[in-house]
A and B are shown apart, each in its own frame.
Chain A
Amino acid sequence: MAHSTASTDTHGHPADPSKRDMLELLAGASAALLGAGIAWPLVSSMNPAKDVLALSSVEVDLAPIAAGQGIVVSWQGKPIFVRHRTPEEVKAAQDAKPGELNDPQTDAARTKPGHEAWMVLVGICTHLGCIPLGNKATDVRGEWGGWFCPCHGSQYDTSGRIRKGPAPTNLAVPPYAFESDSKIKIG
């Protein structure tokens, strides 16, 4: 229906050509707006539905996780790493100089005060989305003892910061809070 306003039409000689031009412009514009109005709800329907948005939080019991170990839980369909760091690992993370980091960020900015032993990360490599290894003590953890991505070799330290490899940024920290000393709520 969207008829071109730049019509090459030479038929008919309306009494008032400027009025016709105006009407053509108006009709063309309103048709374009109508098209956009039809497209909007359709495209919008592809965004997450209300039920997906509502499944926003999970609780994790920390008690069973021994120092040096990590677990993976699912939050919004994403793997979340919860790692109980050893004191050495915490120290290594805290001592890193900003100059050594590709994406400088302090360990304190990535943990909760008073709960420095706990590292909670979105376990998705910031390169192209693989899941890095390193939660089990027996996994390959890379030179910095954190996580190692098997896809293209990105290496993360014990704070989940990128140290080497193609990944551009640190592993993300999801929103979470301590409900008690042994329980966190993610989301």
Chain B
Amino acid sequence: MAGLHKSEFANPVINWVESRLPIFTMMQKEYGVFPTPKNFNYFWNFGALAMVTLVLMIVTGIFLAMNYQPNTELAFDSVQHIMRDVNYGWLIRYVHQNGASMFFMVTYIHIFRGRYYGSYKAPRELLWMLGVIILLLMMATAFMGYVLPWGQMSYWGATVITNLFSAFPVVGPKIVTLLWGGFSVDNPTLNRFFALHYLMPFVLVGVVFLHVAALHITGSNNPLGIDVKSPQDTVPFHPFYTIKDSVGMCVFLMIWAGFVCFAPNLLGDANNFIPANPLQTPADIVPEWYFLPYYGILRSVPNKLLGVCMMFASILLLLALPWLDTSKVRSARFRPIFRILLLVWCLTFVGLGICGAHKPEGVWVILSRLFAFYYFAHLLVVLPILGKLERPLPLPESISNPVVRGAMGKVAAVLLIAGGLFGMQGVTPAHAEEEIVLPQQKWSFSGLFGTVDIASAQRGFQVYSEVCANCHAMKYLHYRDLAGLKLEPEQIKAIAAAVTVPQGTNDEGEPKEGPATPASQFRSPFINDKQARSRNNGALPPDLSLMINAREDGANHVYAILTGYADAPSTMKMQDGMNYNKYFPGHQIAMPQPLRDGQVTYADGTPTSLDQEARDVVTFLAWAANPEQTERKQLGVRVILYLGFMACVTYALKRKIWAAVH
């Protein structure tokens, strides 16, 4: 028999809603008074942090989708449009781009916490399994999102990952064609990936809801891994854990903002600043850091089908974890052997990631096999047996009456060091070829607080216009953008008016030319790539808009190339039309030496040595590749200070609130 819910709220409006839909009672029950073990440590922040990240990813994603074009012709350009023209577009995009990494960091720590404290054991098996499904969905979403910018890594990542399915006999190639909607990764693929990338986060929200609903049935685990015995063991979720989660959130947002404002491309790949080219694979193709361990497993197996199966199994096996671990004791605090072996397992996971970042040669193959072996052995052999053999330490009576202190600090330190190692190794893939060491220059724009030297960039623009622009386009720049180099509107108008650019068609339908306006793109020296090639010995002079981002250590790279011309050593056989350069990979470059002493005449009287010209043009290109960089760093300082202040306030409040419990 249906009936109105009995409601006792004082506010009549709330009462009216409440008696028809008891949502306030529910919120009060699940998030207000919800009894929560009182002994959580900060590892219990990470579920809430993941939730915050998911929300921020969805919100920023929706605003990005308003300006993104899922079309192979337009996708790359539309991302640059977001970065350069849309108000705060760079901020929204960098938050989203780095957000993917933050999401995986937080989720991996959350999973580790579950593993360490045995949160997957009865009665929380289903809760854990839903978590594994969330991880899988996240991976699919992140992968498809990475394809959207349609750079070289997007394209080749999509090709490699979708080709994984071709390993399956008989149906494999059919599945791949189905995924592509064609016979290679192309426009239909990009289109559907966009549609699915937009959909999946909402599926994620659904599964996260189930994950949380299941949590609220079983209640939370806790660092001791023992059941709640009496009301004394718990505190109400609010305000005790809302405030504790808030402290964690402030610190977490500080780290995120740090990446966004000071190192937005640290976790990315330079190759993705080059538009997708289906005819050329980049020399090193490496997935994003969060996929590296699985990539390591894939490459440790010499057989294609087996490698793919192992990779999928490495995650799917986690679904069975509640039954593979036969020990009744949850928390690793009371399982001394398990604790060490779990850490070893985590290190093998990190190790697999490091292997995944290196070319599969020599020692890396052996290491990755060793690590992959332990990854599976731990789950399939060690856990079932250890549960039977290990003698756990005596469990405390209750949460309010613990006898031991955790060693999580030490554990966290070990993992932090391992993670740092992974970070250093992971983001700079080692090159197997002859190493070219770029001389490191001092740049005005480098470092946390460095800003572009405007005078130098202005001179660099002159060098670009008089020299480089004869062969290299910069199609993502417009004359109006020169306002960022502190040029006055009148100067910009004059600069633009001196250049003749195509201007659509005249009334008879013929192509028309005319003087550029501030709204015009920088003039391109060639009408199309074909003409560019045919006039340059078959080599295409690349667009320079993003050059500094599109090369590893871009500023030093470009400077080294510009100043690295020399006579070829007699031992070297030069090909026709090629020039010797000390720093160009392979040492043979099609571009003749572009800059020499006295190539240009500076109005401000700066001496025009080759070094000065190269330095100025690199400064200009660095500005052109990241025109937002000064604003970004300034914003970063303010945001981090603000969040730091908030962290202090919430922490002080947390101490006050918890004072009565401790």
A49 and B519 contact, Cβ closer than 8 Å, known pairs A3-B242, A3-B246, A27-B650: no
Known A-B contacts: A12-B658, A49-B85, A51-B85. Give 6 more (CB < 8 A).
A1-B246, A41-B91, A45-B63, A47-B87, A49-B86, A54-B478
Q: Which chain B residue has the least Cβ–Cβ distance from A9?
A: B239
The 9 closest A-B pairs by CB, nearest first: A12-B660, A41-B88, A54-B519, A49-B85, A23-B653, A50-B85, A44-B87, A3-B242, A49-B86
Residues from chain A with a CB closer than 8 A to the CB of B653 are 20, 23-24, 26-27
B344-403 with Cβ < 8 A to chain A = none
Main SS of chain B's interface residues? Answer: helix
Q: For residue A7, which residues in chain B have a CB less than 8 angstroms away from its CB? A: 238-239
Sample of 8 A–B contacts (CB below 8 Å): A1-B245, A3-B238, A23-B649, A23-B656, A34-B643, A38-B56, A45-B88, A50-B84
Is A14 in contact with B646, judged by CB distance below 8 angstroms? no
- Complex-state Cα separation, A23 to B157, whole angstroms: 49
The 0/1 profile, CB within 8 Å of B marked 1, for residues 12-31 of chain A is 11111001100110110011
**Chain A residues within an 8 Å CB radius of B91:** 41
- Which of A12, A45, A52: most chain B Cβ within 10 A? A45
Within 8 A of A (CB), among B630-662: 639, 642-643, 645-646, 649-650, 652-653, 656-661
Chain A residue numbers with a CB within 8 Å of B661 are: 12
The yes or no answer to B480 lying at the interface (CB within 8 A) is yes
Q: Residues of A with Cβ closer than 8 Å to B?
A: 1, 3, 7, 9, 11-16, 19-20, 23-24, 26-27, 30-31, 34, 37-38, 41-42, 44-47, 49-52, 54-57
With A3-B239, A11-B236, A11-B660 as contacts: A34 and B92 at CB distance below 8 Å: no
Inter-subunit contact B649/A55 (CB<8 Å): no
Task: Provide the residues of chain B in CB contact with A34, threshold 8 Å.
Answer: 642-643, 646
A41 touches B660 (CB 8 A): no
Is B118's beta carbon under 8 Å from chain A?
no
B646 contacts A31, C-beta separation under 8 Å = yes
- Which residues of chain A are near B239, meaning CB under 8 Å? 3, 7, 9, 11
The answer to whether A27 and B242 touch (CB under 8 A), given A12-B661, A19-B656, A56-B519, is no
Determine if A50 and B88 form an interchain contact, defined as CB atoms under 8 angstroms apart.
no
By a CB distance below 8 angstroms, the chain B residues around A41 are: 87-88, 91-92
B124 on the A face (CB < 8 A): no
B216 within 8 A of A: no
B contact residues around A11 at 8 Å (CB): 235-236, 239-240, 660
A49 B81 Cβ-Cβ under 8 A: yes
Contacts of B89 in A (CB 8 A): 45, 49
* Complex alpha-carbon distance, A47 and B66, angstroms: 11
A3 / chain B contacts, CB cutoff of 8 Å: 238-239, 242-243, 246
Contact A55 B519 (CB under 8 A): yes
CB distance from A97 to the nearest CB of B (A): 41
The verdict on B67 contacting chain A, using a C-beta distance below 8 Å, is yes
**A26-B649, A46-B66, A49-B87 are known contacts. Are A1 and B249 too (CB-CB below 8 A)?**
yes
Count how many pairs of residues, one from A and one from B, have CB atoms less than 8 Å apart in the complex: 106
Q: Which residues of B contact A14 (CB under 8 A)?
A: 656-657, 659-660
For the complex, what is the distance from the CA of A20 to the CA of B67, rounded to whole Å? Answer: 45
Residues in B524-573 with C-beta less than 8 Å from chain A? none
CB-nearest residue of chain B to A13: B660
Q: Pick the most buried of B52, B59, B238: most chain A CB atoms within 10 A of its CB.
A: B238
Write the nearest CB–CB distance from B455 to chain A, whole angstroms: 24
B9 to chain A minimum Cβ distance, whole angstroms, is 11
Residue of A nearest to B514 (CB): A59
Q: Which residues of A contact B639 (CB under 8 A)?
A: 37
B518 interface hit (Cβ, 8 Å): yes
Contact of B59 among A42, A51, A54 (CB under 8 A): A42
| Distance of A50 Cα from B517 Cα, bound (Å) | 14
* Complex interface: chain A residues within 8 A of B177 (CB): none
Q: Which residues of B contact A38 (CB under 8 A)?
A: 56
Say whether A23 contacts B642, CB under 8 Å: no
Chain B residues, Cβ within 8 Å of A13: 660
B326 at the interface (CB under 8 A from A): no
B101 interfacial contact with A, CB 8 Å:
no
B245 touches A54 (CB 8 A): no
A50 to B91, CA, bound (A): 15
Closest to B240 in A: A11
- Residues in chain A near residue B652, CB distance under 8 A: 23
B81 close to A51 (CB less than 8 A): yes
Contacts of B656 in A (CB 8 A): 14, 16, 19-20, 23
Q: Is B593 an interface residue (CB 8 A)?
A: no
Name the residue of chain B whose CB is nearest to the CB of A7: B239
Question: How far is B245's CA from A1's CA once the two chains are assembled, in angstroms?
Answer: 7
- Report the Cα distance A109→B92, complex, angstroms: 45
Interface residue B19 (Cβ < 8 Å from any Cβ of A): no
Interface centre among B60, B84, B86, B235 (most CB of A within 10 A): B86
Instruction: Give the chain A neighbours of B249 by CB distance below 8 A.
Output: 1
Q: How far is the CB of B250 from chain A (nearest CB, A)?
A: 9
Nearest CB in chain A: distance from B476 CB, A: 11
Instruction: Give the residues in chain A near B88, CB-CB below 8 Å.
Output: 41-42, 44-45
The digit string for B229-241, where 1 denotes a CB below 8 A from any CB of A, is 0000001101110
Closest CB in chain A relative to B310 CB, distance in Å: 40
CB distance from B507 to the nearest CB of A (A): 9
Residue numbers in B under 8 Å from A52 (CB-CB): 85
The residue on B at minimum CB distance from A41 is: B88
List of A residues within 8 angstroms of B246 by Cβ:
1, 3, 27, 31
**From B59, B60, B480, B650, contact of A50 by CB (8 A):** B480
